[in-house]
Structure 1
Amino acid sequence: MRVGFLVNPYAGSGGRIGLKGSDGIRLLNPEIPGRVYRFLSRAPDVEYLVPRGKMGEEYVKLRKRYTLLNSGRDDSTRQDTLIAVEEMKEKGVDIITFVGGDGTARDVAEVAGSLPILGVPAGVKMHSGVFATTPESAGTLLTLFVQGKARVVKAEVLDLDEEEYRKGRYVVKLFHVANTISFANLLTPSKEEYNYSDEIDSIAYFFLEKIMKDDVTYIMGPGATVKRIEQILGLSPNFLSIDIIKGKKVVKYNANYEDLKSLTGELKLVLTPIGGQGFVIGRGNQELGPEVLRRVGREDLILVSSRAKVNKLDCLRFDTGEPSLDLKFSGVYRVIVGYDEYVAISTCSIT
């Protein structure tokens, strides 16, 4: 078994600073090494074919058996990814694993052809269906593939127009249908979109009339259901941003990680799970970084969702950036689906 492995060191760099993506942002993401090592801690002992420098070599040289490719450089671009995947194919790899987000998945799938690909989640959005739920899950999935236990399945590779996304307009396109590998719930489904009915109004009014308190600071996550609460308050939110509200007034629109870390007093998070995937934290809301999440408990998460969306989820998922925090937020949640109506749903088992 020969495994192609590459890293996009810029993936996810726009998440904590509230830019909703990394396209056009040439900032190295300091969280990439941690995600790579979490993956490698579970990955099998096989031969890895890796590009040079920060695209792969830097991470495996003391941890795995590897063959160095001719491609790869620290200041990598999309073209370097395409060249590396082409070289992996020429060398006869059995699967290509990569660390990145939807943009990286799109580049890898463009060249991979029928080869299965597997993403280690490190981007901001990750709507595509080729990503494992966590870096550890990616390592476990790859191990199961080497053992002949994981099956090859088809999955969508999706990507957003990030310029439109940052303006609050959701424009998603299907670019490829790729082969990937799956076992149990280790692979994340593609994101699904739902048409919401008047039920989100009943959710919003219930929250405003029975839950919201004037002396509590509310961190309002992205998504139409959460933003409907803000609209009924007379605010004009971008439905993709994280906003801060206290006393039914906006403190800050489009808050980033630093803004949230500076908050004092009692905090509550108002969030909605991603349709089809079930992610509550870790997809599209990376502004909620570890220092913020350590200040709140499970009881401080207020989850809202249309009944149709939550009924199609098998479980809720958390990818906070720290495994200990993922464990902290595991358990059963009551999701508000109407006026004083709830649906109970548990988090996925952590692998």
Structure 2
Amino acid sequence: MDERTVPATGVSGHSPRAGGTDSGTEAFVAHRNLLFTVAYEMLGSAADAEDVLQETWLRWAGIDHDTVRDPRAFLVRITTRQALTRLRVLRRRKESYVGPWLPEPLLTAPDVADDIELADSVSMAMLLVLETLAPTERAVFVLRDVFDLGYDEIAQAIDKTPVAVRQIAHRARAHVAARRPRAVVSPAETRDALTAFQQALETGDLRRLLDMIAPDVVLLTDGGGIVPAALEPVVGADEVARVLGRIGLGPEDSRRELRPTQVNGHPALLLCLGDEIDSVLAVRIEDGRIISLYAVRNPEKLSRIKRETAVGR
């Protein structure tokens, strides 16, 4: 197998490449979904997470695997270090990003929602919370609170002492707790809210739409400076309803339609123009009403949304 090619598994229609039968390849393939998810949760970008996996594979392929006692821990350590390096570059890049930055959405399998902790950790809302952490805090939180790695393992991954890791974990956990969604909302509740929301948009029922969204709802639209999008958060029910009303799903434009889907472990909507995906709409719900709307329009972030991406722990 070409060592420059990362073995693939867990994605619909993909399987490990022929010839990759050695123990090192088998270990990498066995943990590939975990490694991708670690990198994705640290970066919020599937494209960059795949690059991190490429770098992880190159380093893993170059060592004597017989000397590695715990391949999973070793691979997570490589992935974490590569993701931290890339995260610091991405943070500088985001400073010049045009308009609000949103994570790259992933089309996920329905069973991801069954793992409540995993689904919460890859949700758009949680990934935005993780964006507020410093790089090392983000790495520690992801490895400890999402993937339940031991403090000693994390210490080796980020070149800190276990005592320092405990302190960082405590600080990151408090930071996230103050900003994460207050309650877990079931997939069924989210689906019901999205169905009502979709019907309100499709019928142009402004009253029903206003009933669905909270008075202080926030809409974030990510066009990346490539396609039209609001350059600042849109705040308040009236303003958000006015923006959403421009979508135009009436019979005069039959090419436009909203399609239910599963994004980042949660029900979401695709706004389609014929066979092309224009936007991904994800929501955050509290007390039965939508309090946050995330509309990803940047075409560079929609290239993976037509095929399922495997995430795992």
| Fold in common (TM above 0.5) | no
Higher relative contact order (CA 8 A, sep 6+): 2
Structure 1-normalised TM-score?
0.28
Structure with more strand by fraction: 1
Give the structure with the higher percent helix.
2
What is the TM-score when the length of structure 2 is the normalising length? 0.30
